[in-house]
Structure 1
Amino acid sequence: MPQEEIILYDLPRREMEKGPWSPNTLKARFALEFKGLPYKTVWIEYPDVAAHCQKIGAKPTGKWPDGTPLYTLPVIQDPNTDAVVSDSYAIAEYLDAHYATPRSLIPAGTEGLHAAFFKAITDNAFAKLFPIIPAAVAKLLNPPSAEYFVRTREAQFGKLDEFCPPGPKREQQLKEAKAGLDIVEGWYQKAGKDTLYLMGDTPSWADLIVAAYMVGMKRMQGEHSDEWKQISSWNSGRWAKLAEALGS
Protein backbone atom coordinates (compact mmCIF):
# COMPACT_ATOMS: atom_id res chain seq x y z
CA MET A 1 0.00 0.00 0.00
CA PRO A 2 1.45 3.41 -0.92
CA GLN A 3 2.42 5.61 2.02
CA GLU A 4 1.70 8.85 0.21
CA GLU A 5 -1.37 9.68 -1.85
CA ILE A 6 -1.07 9.16 -5.59
CA ILE A 7 -1.91 12.33 -7.51
CA LEU A 8 -4.58 12.07 -10.21
CA TYR A 9 -4.69 14.96 -12.68
CA ASP A 10 -8.23 15.52 -13.93
CA LEU A 11 -10.33 18.07 -15.84
CA PRO A 12 -12.68 20.31 -13.82
CA ARG A 13 -16.14 21.56 -14.76
CA ARG A 14 -18.33 24.53 -13.85
CA GLU A 15 -20.66 22.55 -11.59
CA MET A 16 -18.18 20.45 -9.65
CA GLU A 17 -20.90 19.05 -7.41
CA LYS A 18 -22.15 17.05 -10.40
CA GLY A 19 -18.99 14.98 -10.39
CA PRO A 20 -16.02 14.29 -12.69
CA TRP A 21 -17.20 13.96 -16.27
CA SER A 22 -14.40 12.76 -18.56
CA PRO A 23 -14.69 9.05 -19.45
CA ASN A 24 -10.93 8.80 -19.83
CA THR A 25 -10.05 10.28 -16.45
CA LEU A 26 -12.91 8.35 -14.85
CA LYS A 27 -11.17 5.14 -15.95
CA ALA A 28 -8.10 6.07 -13.91
CA ARG A 29 -10.22 7.27 -10.97
CA PHE A 30 -12.22 4.04 -10.91
CA ALA A 31 -8.99 2.02 -11.17
CA LEU A 32 -7.53 3.72 -8.10
CA GLU A 33 -10.75 3.20 -6.16
CA PHE A 34 -11.12 -0.41 -7.33
CA LYS A 35 -7.68 -1.23 -5.93
CA GLY A 36 -8.32 0.75 -2.74
CA LEU A 37 -5.32 3.04 -3.23
CA PRO A 38 -5.21 6.45 -1.53
CA TYR A 39 -5.16 9.33 -3.98
CA LYS A 40 -5.94 12.99 -4.35
CA THR A 41 -7.16 14.96 -7.35
CA VAL A 42 -5.44 17.99 -8.85
CA TRP A 43 -7.63 19.82 -11.34
CA ILE A 44 -6.05 21.15 -14.53
CA GLU A 45 -7.89 23.35 -17.04
CA TYR A 46 -7.59 22.31 -20.70
CA PRO A 47 -5.27 25.17 -21.78
CA ASP A 48 -2.82 24.23 -19.02
CA VAL A 49 -2.65 20.48 -19.66
CA ALA A 50 0.29 20.46 -22.08
CA ALA A 51 2.48 22.78 -20.01
CA HIS A 52 1.77 20.89 -16.80
CA CYS A 53 2.43 17.51 -18.40
CA GLN A 54 5.75 18.77 -19.71
CA LYS A 55 6.59 20.21 -16.29
CA ILE A 56 6.09 16.91 -14.45
CA GLY A 57 7.53 14.73 -17.21
CA ALA A 58 4.33 13.11 -18.46
CA LYS A 59 4.61 11.60 -21.92
CA PRO A 60 2.35 12.73 -24.78
CA THR A 61 -0.33 10.22 -25.73
CA GLY A 62 -0.57 11.09 -29.41
CA LYS A 63 -0.19 13.86 -31.95
CA TRP A 64 -2.32 16.74 -33.12
CA PRO A 65 -3.23 16.79 -36.84
CA ASP A 66 -0.25 19.10 -37.45
CA GLY A 67 2.13 16.58 -35.91
CA THR A 68 2.83 18.36 -32.63
CA PRO A 69 2.73 16.28 -29.42
CA LEU A 70 -0.70 15.82 -27.84
CA TYR A 71 -0.83 15.79 -24.05
CA THR A 72 -3.97 14.46 -22.43
CA LEU A 73 -5.39 13.53 -19.05
CA PRO A 74 -5.55 11.33 -17.08
CA VAL A 75 -2.04 11.40 -15.73
CA ILE A 76 -1.00 10.05 -12.35
CA GLN A 77 2.06 11.08 -10.36
CA ASP A 78 3.16 8.60 -7.72
CA PRO A 79 5.36 10.17 -5.01
CA ASN A 80 6.09 6.69 -3.65
CA THR A 81 7.98 5.66 -6.79
CA ASP A 82 8.50 9.02 -8.55
CA ALA A 83 6.64 7.58 -11.54
CA VAL A 84 4.53 9.75 -13.84
CA VAL A 85 2.15 7.76 -16.04
CA SER A 86 -0.02 8.99 -18.92
CA ASP A 87 -3.04 7.21 -20.45
CA SER A 88 -5.70 5.29 -18.54
CA TYR A 89 -4.68 1.87 -19.88
CA ALA A 90 -1.02 2.41 -18.95
CA ILE A 91 -2.17 3.63 -15.53
CA ALA A 92 -4.12 0.41 -14.96
CA GLU A 93 -1.08 -1.67 -15.91
CA TYR A 94 1.15 0.42 -13.65
CA LEU A 95 -1.15 0.10 -10.63
CA ASP A 96 -1.34 -3.68 -10.99
CA ALA A 97 2.43 -3.97 -11.43
CA HIS A 98 3.35 -1.83 -8.42
CA TYR A 99 0.55 -2.45 -5.93
CA ALA A 100 -0.49 -5.98 -5.04
CA THR A 101 -4.05 -5.66 -3.74
CA PRO A 102 -6.80 -8.24 -3.24
CA ARG A 103 -8.28 -7.29 -6.61
CA SER A 104 -6.34 -7.01 -9.86
CA LEU A 105 -7.54 -4.76 -12.64
CA ILE A 106 -6.13 -7.05 -15.32
CA PRO A 107 -5.83 -10.57 -13.86
CA ALA A 108 -2.74 -12.52 -14.89
CA GLY A 109 -3.31 -14.32 -18.16
CA THR A 110 -5.98 -11.90 -19.42
CA GLU A 111 -3.69 -9.16 -20.70
CA GLY A 112 -4.26 -10.00 -24.36
CA LEU A 113 -8.00 -10.42 -23.89
CA HIS A 114 -8.26 -7.02 -22.20
CA ALA A 115 -6.29 -5.35 -24.98
CA ALA A 116 -8.56 -6.96 -27.57
CA PHE A 117 -11.69 -6.00 -25.64
CA PHE A 118 -10.62 -2.37 -25.39
CA LYS A 119 -9.98 -2.16 -29.15
CA ALA A 120 -13.21 -3.96 -30.00
CA ILE A 121 -15.53 -1.96 -27.75
CA THR A 122 -13.95 1.29 -28.91
CA ASP A 123 -14.54 0.40 -32.56
CA ASN A 124 -17.99 -1.13 -32.10
CA ALA A 125 -19.55 1.24 -29.58
CA PHE A 126 -17.56 4.14 -28.17
CA ALA A 127 -16.62 5.50 -31.59
CA LYS A 128 -20.32 5.51 -32.50
CA LEU A 129 -21.22 7.50 -29.36
CA PHE A 130 -18.39 10.00 -29.76
CA PRO A 131 -20.13 12.41 -32.19
CA ILE A 132 -22.75 13.36 -29.57
CA ILE A 133 -20.07 14.28 -27.01
CA PRO A 134 -18.17 17.46 -28.10
CA ALA A 135 -21.10 19.90 -28.05
CA ALA A 136 -22.13 18.66 -24.59
CA VAL A 137 -18.61 18.97 -23.20
CA ALA A 138 -18.24 22.55 -24.41
CA LYS A 139 -21.26 23.55 -22.32
CA LEU A 140 -20.07 22.08 -19.03
CA LEU A 141 -16.52 23.47 -18.92
CA ASN A 142 -15.18 26.56 -17.18
CA PRO A 143 -14.67 29.51 -19.57
CA PRO A 144 -10.91 29.04 -20.19
CA SER A 145 -11.36 25.35 -20.97
CA ALA A 146 -14.54 25.93 -22.99
CA GLU A 147 -12.79 28.42 -25.27
CA TYR A 148 -9.83 26.09 -25.76
CA PHE A 149 -12.02 23.04 -26.31
CA VAL A 150 -14.27 24.71 -28.88
CA ARG A 151 -11.34 26.23 -30.77
CA THR A 152 -9.33 23.01 -31.00
CA ARG A 153 -12.27 20.70 -31.72
CA GLU A 154 -13.83 22.95 -34.34
CA ALA A 155 -10.46 22.95 -36.11
CA GLN A 156 -10.90 19.16 -36.37
CA PHE A 157 -14.66 18.67 -36.77
CA GLY A 158 -16.16 21.98 -37.88
CA LYS A 159 -18.87 23.78 -35.92
CA LEU A 160 -19.72 21.67 -32.88
CA ASP A 161 -23.41 22.56 -33.00
CA GLU A 162 -23.49 21.15 -36.54
CA PHE A 163 -21.33 18.07 -35.87
CA CYS A 164 -24.15 15.86 -34.60
CA PRO A 165 -27.14 18.10 -33.82
CA PRO A 166 -30.36 16.89 -32.16
CA GLY A 167 -32.77 15.47 -34.70
CA PRO A 168 -32.49 12.78 -37.39
CA LYS A 169 -28.69 12.84 -37.55
CA ARG A 170 -28.32 12.28 -33.81
CA GLU A 171 -31.01 9.61 -33.74
CA GLN A 172 -29.19 7.74 -36.50
CA GLN A 173 -25.94 8.03 -34.54
CA LEU A 174 -27.62 6.63 -31.43
CA LYS A 175 -29.09 3.81 -33.50
CA GLU A 176 -25.61 2.89 -34.72
CA ALA A 177 -24.25 3.08 -31.17
CA LYS A 178 -26.97 0.74 -29.94
CA ALA A 179 -26.14 -1.74 -32.69
CA GLY A 180 -22.52 -1.67 -31.52
CA LEU A 181 -23.47 -2.16 -27.89
CA ASP A 182 -25.74 -5.03 -28.91
CA ILE A 183 -22.58 -6.78 -30.10
CA VAL A 184 -20.88 -6.06 -26.77
CA GLU A 185 -23.96 -7.35 -24.94
CA GLY A 186 -23.46 -10.64 -26.76
CA TRP A 187 -19.98 -10.90 -25.27
CA TYR A 188 -21.35 -10.23 -21.79
CA GLN A 189 -24.03 -12.86 -22.28
CA LYS A 190 -21.29 -15.47 -22.69
CA ALA A 191 -20.45 -14.98 -18.99
CA GLY A 192 -23.97 -16.03 -17.98
CA LYS A 193 -27.48 -14.77 -18.50
CA ASP A 194 -27.80 -13.14 -15.08
CA THR A 195 -24.17 -12.08 -14.72
CA LEU A 196 -23.30 -8.38 -14.72
CA TYR A 197 -19.57 -8.60 -15.33
CA LEU A 198 -17.64 -9.79 -18.36
CA MET A 199 -15.62 -12.38 -16.41
CA GLY A 200 -18.47 -13.60 -14.24
CA ASP A 201 -18.92 -12.60 -10.62
CA THR A 202 -15.75 -10.52 -10.36
CA PRO A 203 -15.37 -7.15 -12.11
CA SER A 204 -12.19 -6.36 -14.02
CA TRP A 205 -10.62 -3.55 -16.03
CA ALA A 206 -12.94 -4.34 -18.95
CA ASP A 207 -16.00 -3.58 -16.81
CA LEU A 208 -14.40 -0.43 -15.40
CA ILE A 209 -13.79 0.83 -18.95
CA VAL A 210 -17.48 0.43 -19.73
CA ALA A 211 -18.60 1.91 -16.41
CA ALA A 212 -16.36 4.96 -16.83
CA TYR A 213 -17.70 5.61 -20.31
CA MET A 214 -21.29 5.28 -19.16
CA VAL A 215 -20.85 7.46 -16.07
CA GLY A 216 -19.18 9.99 -18.34
CA MET A 217 -22.06 9.87 -20.82
CA LYS A 218 -24.58 10.35 -18.01
CA ARG A 219 -22.71 13.37 -16.64
CA MET A 220 -21.91 14.94 -20.00
CA GLN A 221 -25.38 14.60 -21.49
CA GLY A 222 -27.28 15.02 -18.22
CA GLU A 223 -29.12 12.44 -16.16
CA HIS A 224 -32.49 13.51 -17.55
CA SER A 225 -31.39 13.95 -21.17
CA ASP A 226 -33.03 11.97 -23.94
CA GLU A 227 -29.63 10.58 -24.88
CA TRP A 228 -28.97 9.09 -21.45
CA LYS A 229 -32.53 7.84 -21.12
CA GLN A 230 -32.03 5.88 -24.32
CA ILE A 231 -28.57 4.55 -23.48
CA SER A 232 -29.54 3.53 -19.94
CA SER A 233 -32.48 1.50 -21.27
CA TRP A 234 -30.48 -0.50 -23.82
CA ASN A 235 -29.70 -4.20 -23.29
CA SER A 236 -31.97 -4.58 -20.26
CA GLY A 237 -30.25 -1.65 -18.57
CA ARG A 238 -26.83 -3.34 -18.43
CA TRP A 239 -24.86 -0.14 -19.11
CA ALA A 240 -26.68 1.83 -16.43
CA LYS A 241 -26.24 -1.08 -14.00
CA LEU A 242 -22.50 -1.19 -14.65
CA ALA A 243 -22.29 2.57 -14.14
CA GLU A 244 -24.11 2.27 -10.83
CA ALA A 245 -22.17 -0.76 -9.61
CA LEU A 246 -18.68 0.49 -10.41
CA GLY A 247 -19.06 4.26 -10.76
CA SER A 248 -18.85 6.95 -8.14
Structure 2
Amino acid sequence: MRPIKFYDVTLKGLSRVSWSPNTCKIRYALNLKNIPYETVWISLSQIFSEIPKVTKSADGPTAPIIFDENNDIAVQDSWKIIKYLETTYPNSPKLLHGNEGLHYLFYQYCENELYDPIFRLNCLDIWRRAGSKGVQSAFRRIREEKYNMTLEDVYESWPEHVKEANKALEPIRKTLSEYPYLSGDKGKREV
Protein backbone atom coordinates (compact mmCIF):
# COMPACT_ATOMS: atom_id res chain seq x y z
CA MET A 1 0.00 0.00 0.00
CA ARG A 2 1.34 3.44 -0.95
CA PRO A 3 1.15 6.14 1.72
CA ILE A 4 -1.67 8.65 1.53
CA LYS A 5 -0.57 12.19 0.74
CA PHE A 6 -1.84 14.45 3.49
CA TYR A 7 -1.78 18.20 2.81
CA ASP A 8 -1.14 20.29 5.92
CA VAL A 9 -0.64 24.05 6.19
CA THR A 10 2.53 25.64 7.48
CA LEU A 11 3.00 29.15 8.82
CA LYS A 12 6.12 31.33 8.66
CA GLY A 13 8.37 30.38 11.56
CA LEU A 14 6.38 27.21 12.29
CA SER A 15 7.46 24.96 9.46
CA ARG A 16 6.35 21.37 9.89
CA VAL A 17 4.21 22.13 12.96
CA SER A 18 0.52 21.24 12.88
CA TRP A 19 -1.38 24.26 14.16
CA SER A 20 -4.79 24.08 12.49
CA PRO A 21 -7.52 22.13 14.28
CA ASN A 22 -8.89 21.12 10.88
CA THR A 23 -5.69 19.47 9.69
CA CYS A 24 -4.95 18.08 13.16
CA LYS A 25 -8.23 16.12 13.06
CA ILE A 26 -7.07 14.28 9.96
CA ARG A 27 -3.53 13.71 11.26
CA TYR A 28 -5.05 12.14 14.41
CA ALA A 29 -7.41 10.01 12.32
CA LEU A 30 -4.62 8.71 10.08
CA ASN A 31 -2.47 7.91 13.11
CA LEU A 32 -5.33 6.23 14.99
CA LYS A 33 -6.17 4.07 11.99
CA ASN A 34 -2.46 3.25 11.46
CA ILE A 35 -2.71 4.31 7.83
CA PRO A 36 0.66 5.16 6.29
CA TYR A 37 0.82 8.77 5.09
CA GLU A 38 3.30 11.40 4.10
CA THR A 39 2.73 15.06 4.85
CA VAL A 40 2.90 17.56 2.03
CA TRP A 41 3.45 20.95 3.66
CA ILE A 42 1.94 23.94 1.89
CA SER A 43 1.72 27.63 2.80
CA LEU A 44 -1.55 29.52 3.07
CA SER A 45 -0.98 31.01 -0.40
CA GLN A 46 -0.23 27.57 -1.88
CA ILE A 47 -3.71 26.40 -0.89
CA PHE A 48 -4.97 28.39 -3.88
CA SER A 49 -2.29 27.19 -6.31
CA GLU A 50 -1.62 23.58 -5.23
CA ILE A 51 -4.95 22.20 -3.97
CA PRO A 52 -6.80 22.69 -7.30
CA LYS A 53 -4.03 20.65 -9.00
CA VAL A 54 -4.78 17.78 -6.62
CA THR A 55 -8.56 17.96 -6.53
CA LYS A 56 -9.08 18.85 -10.20
CA SER A 57 -12.33 20.32 -8.93
CA ALA A 58 -14.14 23.63 -9.14
CA ASP A 59 -14.76 23.46 -5.37
CA GLY A 60 -13.00 26.20 -3.44
CA PRO A 61 -9.54 25.09 -2.31
CA THR A 62 -9.24 24.35 1.40
CA ALA A 63 -7.14 22.24 3.72
CA PRO A 64 -7.14 19.54 4.92
CA ILE A 65 -7.09 17.34 1.88
CA ILE A 66 -5.79 13.85 1.25
CA PHE A 67 -4.81 12.17 -1.97
CA ASP A 68 -5.04 8.39 -1.86
CA GLU A 69 -2.87 7.08 -4.72
CA ASN A 70 -4.11 3.56 -3.97
CA ASN A 71 -7.56 4.57 -5.23
CA ASP A 72 -6.57 7.62 -7.31
CA ILE A 73 -8.87 9.90 -5.33
CA ALA A 74 -8.58 13.28 -3.63
CA VAL A 75 -10.85 13.95 -0.66
CA GLN A 76 -11.38 17.44 0.70
CA ASP A 77 -13.16 18.48 3.94
CA SER A 78 -12.51 17.00 7.38
CA TRP A 79 -15.81 15.14 7.72
CA LYS A 80 -15.67 13.69 4.20
CA ILE A 81 -12.09 12.53 4.83
CA ILE A 82 -13.09 10.82 8.09
CA LYS A 83 -15.95 8.99 6.36
CA TYR A 84 -13.69 8.05 3.43
CA LEU A 85 -11.02 6.61 5.74
CA GLU A 86 -13.61 4.68 7.73
CA THR A 87 -15.21 3.18 4.62
CA THR A 88 -12.08 2.59 2.54
CA TYR A 89 -9.94 1.15 5.35
CA PRO A 90 -12.42 -0.94 7.38
CA ASN A 91 -9.77 -3.34 8.69
CA SER A 92 -7.93 -0.67 10.64
CA PRO A 93 -9.10 0.67 14.03
CA LYS A 94 -12.49 2.34 13.88
CA LEU A 95 -13.04 6.08 14.08
CA LEU A 96 -16.83 6.20 14.29
CA HIS A 97 -17.61 2.91 16.08
CA GLY A 98 -20.94 2.63 14.30
CA ASN A 99 -22.06 5.93 15.85
CA GLU A 100 -21.76 8.20 12.82
CA GLY A 101 -24.63 10.46 13.89
CA LEU A 102 -23.16 11.00 17.36
CA HIS A 103 -19.74 11.81 15.90
CA TYR A 104 -21.26 14.19 13.36
CA LEU A 105 -23.19 15.95 16.13
CA PHE A 106 -19.97 16.39 18.12
CA TYR A 107 -18.12 17.52 14.98
CA GLN A 108 -20.81 20.12 14.24
CA TYR A 109 -20.90 21.26 17.86
CA CYS A 110 -17.14 21.89 17.87
CA GLU A 111 -17.29 23.59 14.45
CA ASN A 112 -20.14 25.91 15.52
CA GLU A 113 -19.36 26.57 19.18
CA LEU A 114 -15.70 25.95 19.95
CA TYR A 115 -13.45 26.63 16.96
CA ASP A 116 -14.30 30.30 16.43
CA PRO A 117 -13.40 31.55 19.93
CA ILE A 118 -10.18 29.53 19.81
CA PHE A 119 -9.39 30.87 16.34
CA ARG A 120 -10.03 34.43 17.53
CA LEU A 121 -7.42 33.91 20.26
CA ASN A 122 -4.87 33.09 17.57
CA CYS A 123 -5.88 35.06 14.49
CA LEU A 124 -3.43 37.94 15.02
CA ASP A 125 -0.54 35.48 15.32
CA ILE A 126 -1.75 33.56 12.26
CA TRP A 127 -1.89 36.86 10.34
CA ARG A 128 1.69 37.67 11.39
CA ARG A 129 2.86 34.25 10.18
CA ALA A 130 0.70 34.09 7.05
CA GLY A 131 3.62 34.73 4.71
CA SER A 132 3.62 37.30 1.94
CA LYS A 133 2.11 40.75 2.33
CA GLY A 134 -0.58 39.79 -0.21
CA VAL A 135 -1.67 36.77 1.84
CA GLN A 136 -1.54 38.81 5.03
CA SER A 137 -3.65 41.54 3.44
CA ALA A 138 -6.29 39.06 2.22
CA PHE A 139 -6.35 37.27 5.59
CA ARG A 140 -6.78 40.57 7.45
CA ARG A 141 -9.55 41.78 5.13
CA ILE A 142 -11.53 38.53 5.32
CA ARG A 143 -11.25 38.24 9.12
CA GLU A 144 -11.96 41.88 9.84
CA GLU A 145 -15.06 41.74 7.65
CA LYS A 146 -16.19 38.59 9.44
CA TYR A 147 -15.57 39.95 12.94
CA ASN A 148 -16.48 43.57 12.14
CA MET A 149 -13.38 44.78 14.00
CA THR A 150 -9.64 44.96 13.47
CA LEU A 151 -7.46 41.94 14.24
CA GLU A 152 -5.87 44.01 17.01
CA ASP A 153 -9.32 44.59 18.56
CA VAL A 154 -10.07 40.88 18.24
CA TYR A 155 -6.83 40.15 20.09
CA GLU A 156 -7.57 42.75 22.79
CA SER A 157 -10.93 41.11 23.49
CA TRP A 158 -9.23 37.80 24.35
CA PRO A 159 -10.90 37.46 27.79
CA GLU A 160 -14.28 37.23 26.04
CA HIS A 161 -12.96 34.51 23.69
CA VAL A 162 -11.56 32.51 26.61
CA LYS A 163 -14.93 32.78 28.38
CA GLU A 164 -16.74 31.69 25.18
CA ALA A 165 -14.38 28.72 24.67
CA ASN A 166 -14.78 27.63 28.30
CA LYS A 167 -18.56 27.82 27.99
CA ALA A 168 -18.44 25.66 24.84
CA LEU A 169 -16.19 23.15 26.63
CA GLU A 170 -18.55 22.89 29.63
CA PRO A 171 -20.79 20.04 28.34
CA ILE A 172 -17.73 18.15 27.10
CA ARG A 173 -16.03 18.49 30.50
CA LYS A 174 -19.21 17.41 32.29
CA THR A 175 -19.63 14.36 30.08
CA LEU A 176 -16.00 13.31 30.47
CA SER A 177 -16.22 13.75 34.25
CA GLU A 178 -18.95 11.10 34.30
CA TYR A 179 -17.77 8.86 31.43
CA PRO A 180 -14.18 7.96 30.56
CA TYR A 181 -14.83 8.24 26.80
CA LEU A 182 -17.46 9.51 24.37
CA SER A 183 -17.77 6.62 21.94
CA GLY A 184 -16.32 3.18 21.38
CA ASP A 185 -15.00 0.76 23.93
CA LYS A 186 -12.63 2.01 26.62
CA GLY A 187 -9.29 0.33 26.29
CA LYS A 188 -10.44 -1.87 23.41
CA ARG A 189 -9.24 -1.16 19.90
CA GLU A 190 -11.85 -2.25 17.40
CA VAL A 191 -10.53 -3.73 14.18
> What is the TM-score with the length of structure 2 in the denominator?
0.83
* Distance in 1 between residues matched to 2:88 and 2:44, nearest whole Å: 29
Shift of residue 73 of structure 1?
Answer: 0.2
Shift of residue 36 of structure 1?
Answer: 0.8
Aligned to 1:231: none
Aligned to 2:85: 95
Shift of residue 137 of structure 1?
Answer: 1.1
Structure 2 residue identity aligned to 1:41: T
Unpaired segments ≥5 residues, structure 1:
61-68, 205-248
From 161, 183, 186, the equivalent of 2:152 is 161
Aligned to 1:224: none
Superposed CA RMSD: 2.5
1:111 aligns with 2:100: yes
Aligned to 1:126: 115
Shift of residue 132 of structure 1?
Answer: 1.6
Shift of residue 140 of structure 1?
Answer: 3.0
* Closer/same/farther in 2, CA of residues 126 and 152 from structure 1, 3 Å limit: closer
Aligned to 2:26: 28
Structure 2 residue identity aligned to 1:161: E
**8 A Cα contact 2:11 2:44, kept in partner:** no
Shift of residue 35 of structure 1?
Answer: 0.8
* Distance in 1 between residues matched to 2:57 and 2:21, nearest whole Å: 20
Q: What SS does the corresponding residue of 2:107 show, helix, strand or coil?
A: helix
Structure 2 residue identity aligned to 1:49: I
Could you report, residue by residue, the CA deviation over 1:124-166 in whole angstroms, capped at 9, with x for unpaired residues?
333333322311211233336545433443344342112x223
* Distance in 2 between residues matched to 1:87 and 1:135, nearest whole Å: 24
* Distance in 2 between residues matched to 1:203 and 1:32, nearest whole Å: 18
Superposition map of 1:61-72 within 5 A: 70-72=60-62
* Distance in 1 between residues matched to 2:118 and 2:158, nearest whole Å: 10
**8 A Cα contact 1:47 1:148, kept in partner:** no
Q: What SS does the corresponding residue of 1:9 show, helix, strand or coil?
A: strand
Unpaired segments ≥5 residues, structure 2:
none
Greater percentage in helix:
1
* Distance in 2 between residues matched to 1:203 and 1:127, nearest whole Å: 33
